Structure 1
C-alpha cells in the first residue's frame, strides 16, 4: 500500500508542476461526445446470396449497354492518319508513297485519298512516338515566371532551365529543354480536283486551353509595343530557327509567349506516344461536308528530326463527339467489367442453387 501511495503522490506532484494551489486538474479523458467516445452508429454489410447476386447482375446490365454505346460512338468518329517519319533532310522518302522531295527547303508532298466525308469541324493533330515529355528533369526545365511575363525572369532565368538557360552570354527566352525542343514542322493540306489544287484553310488560333492563353502565358510589357524591342538582350532557344517574337509577326495576339503553337507544346504529355492539336478546319457551310471524299495532298516542310531518338511522326485528321476524340479503350473497359460481373453472377447463382440448400439443411439439428 505504501508503494502505491507513493506512486500516486509522484504522479500528482508531476501533474501539478508549475501550477499554483487550488488550480483545477486537466484531465486527459476525451470529451463525452458520440464521436470521441466512439458511440456513433455503425453499419456493416452482411454479404449474402440475396444481396451479392443482384449486385453482380445489375452492374453487368448497366455497364454493358454503356460500354457498347461508348464504343459505337468512338467508332463513328472519323479519323485519318499519315505517318511521314521517312522524310529526313538529305535522305530518300522511301517510306512514303506518292512522294516528291524538294532539296531546298526540305519539303515533301504526300498524296492521299479520303474514302468518306468529314462532316463536322475537323481537328488536325501532329503525333510523336518515343518522345518522353514526362521525364522528371525535362518537365522541370522551364521558368513559369518568365512565361508569365516577368521582366526579372526574362533577364535572369531560373536555374531549372540549365543547360538551356543562357546562350552566347545572353539569357534564353523562352528558356528550358521543353521550349528548346518545340515541334516546328509546317503542315498544309490541298484538295485536288480536276488536276487543280486548292489549299484548305487551317485555323491556327483557338487550339490552346483558355487558362493557358489568358492566365499562364503572357508577354512581358515595356515602353515599346514592338515585341522585338521588349525581347532585346535575349537569345532564341538553341534549336529554334527564329526568335520568340517572330513566331507569328503578323498577329500580335498570337506572337511571343502567347503563340498558341508554343503554348500547346509547353503542356507536356504524360505518355511517350502522344498527339497535340495543330490546326482546326472549321465547317463553313452546313450543306457541305468539311472535308469531302476525294484526293488530297499533304505538304510538309520538314524541320523536326526524330531519328536521333528512334521516334515517329504522324499527321492525324479527326472529328470529335460528345466524349471527345477517338478512344475505344473506355468502351472496351466498360464492356469487359460488365461481362465479368454478369458471368460471375451466373457462376455464383449456379453454385448457390446447387449447394445453398445443402448448407442450410446441415445447420438443422436432428
Structure 2
C-alpha cells in the first residue's frame, strides 16, 4: 500500500502516470541467517523465454560498439523520441526496456539502521568481463546521441552515479536482468549484504525488519507477482527446491513405468519353453 493513501502502489502509479510510489512492509526473521546473506527479487508469470523477447537485443551495442543504426532485432524498441528528436535507444531491445527498476531497501529495527549492501558482485564474471563493455571516454558524452529506453526513468549512464565502475552497460543490475530466465517464475540476485559492518559480521540476526519498496515496476497487467527473498548459500549453492521436486517426480514416474512394463512382460510374454520350441512350421498365434 502507499504510505499515505489507502490504495495499492500498482493503482497509484497507474493513476499518476507512472509516478514513483513508496510502500512499507514489516516482517520478522524468526531465526539467524548465518554466513553470507543475499537479497533476491522474484517475478512470476513473466515469460523471459519468449523467442522474440530473447532475440530483442543488440550484442554489438552492449559490447560498447555504438552505432546510430541499432540491430533490427531491437525493433520496435530501437528508436525513441527525446524532446521531439528521434534518436537510437541505448541499450535497445525489449529485454533492456523492461529492466526491473524497483528499489528494495531493508531496515533493521533492532539496530535502527539500513542493512548495508553491495551493489556489485551480483553478476556472472563471464558476463561482465566478456559480454558487456562501455564505450571509451566519458559515458555522458559517449551516449549524447542516444536516448534511454522508453520505460526507463534515467539514462544508461545514470544507473549508478555513486560508482563509475558500475555504470553504463557494465551496471550489474542491467547485466543480471539481461541474462534471461528459462522459466516464467524466477528470481534474480539483487544485493549482497556487507558483512564487514558491525552487527552483520556473523550474518543477518533474527528480529524485526522493514522492507521499503520504491515501487516502479507494475506486474498486474500480465497477472504477475513480485517477491522479495532473503537467502544464504552453501557449498551446493543457494536453496532452490525446483531440482529436488523435479528429481522426485521424474524418479517416481520412471518407477511406475518400470512396474507397468514388468507386469506387461510377465502377463503377455512367451515362456522360455515356447521360445525354444519355435520352428519354421510354428503357426502364428
The answer to whether the superposition gives a TM-score over 0.5 is yes
1:176 aligns with 2:93: yes
Q: Counting helix residues as a fraction of each chain, which structure ranks higher?
A: 1
Q: Is the 8 A contact 2:3 2:22 kept in 1?
A: no
1:119 to 29, 34, 44: 34
Contact 2:43–2:186 under 8 Å retained in 1: yes
Shift of 1:239: 0.7
Q: Distance in 1 between matches of 2:189 and 2:116?
A: 15
Counterpart residue number, 2:281: none
How many angstroms apart in 1 are the aligned matches of 2:242 and 2:143? 46
Helix, strand or coil at the partner of 1:213: helix
Q: Match for residue 17 of structure 1? A: none
Alignment pair present for 1:156 and 2:73:
no
Alpha-carbon separation, structure 1, partners of 2:48 and 2:4:
24
> In structure 1, what is the Cα distance between the partners aligned to 2:57 and 2:48?
13
Contact 1:191 1:297 in 2 (8 A): yes
Deviations 1:236-292 (A, max 9, x none): 111110100100122111000000000111111111111111001143389953111
1:314-333 correspondence to structure 2 within 5 Å = 314-333=227-246
Q: Secondary structure at the match of 1:301?
A: strand
1:303: which partner in 2?
216
Partner residue in 2 for 1:68:
none
Distance 1:246 1:87, change over 3 A: same
The answer to whether 1:277 aligns with 2:192 is no
Confirm or deny: 8 A CA contact 2:75 2:93 kept in the other structure. yes
Q: Which residue of 1 aligns with 2:22?
A: 107
SS in 1 for 2:233: coil
**CA-to-partner distance for each residue in 1:306-349, whole Å, 9 max, x for gaps?**
1121111111111122222222343345556389659969x97x
- SS of the residue aligned with 1:137? helix
- 1:138 shift after superposition: 1.0
Q: Which consecutive unaligned segments of at least 5 residues does structure 2 have?
A: 11-18, 278-285
Distance change (3 Å), C-alpha of 1:156 and 1:184: same
Larger Rg: 1
User: Relative to 1, partners in 2 of residues 1:231 and 1:321: Cα closer, same or farther, differing over 3 Å?
Assistant: same
2:145 is aligned to: 233
Task: Check the 8 A contact 1:125/1:279 in 2, yes or no.
Answer: yes
1:251 aligns with 2:153: no
Tell me the SS of whatever aligns to 1:320. Answer: strand
Q: Secondary structure at 1:318's aligned position in 2?
A: strand
For each residue in 1:346-366, what CA deviation from the matched residue of structure 2 results, as whole angstroms up to 9, or x when unmatched? x97xx99xxxxxx6788999x
- SS of aligned partner of 2:150: coil
Calculate the aligned-residue CA RMSD, in Å. 3.4
1:324-343 to 2 correspondences below 5 Å: 324-334=237-247, 337=251
Query: Is it true that 1:294 corresponds to 2:207 in the alignment?
Result: yes
Unaligned 5+ segments in structure 1 are 1-85, 96-103, 353-358
Q: How many residues align?
A: 262
Task: Give the Cα separation in 2 of the matches to 1:118 and 1:325.
Answer: 13
Change (3 A) 1:90 1:274: farther
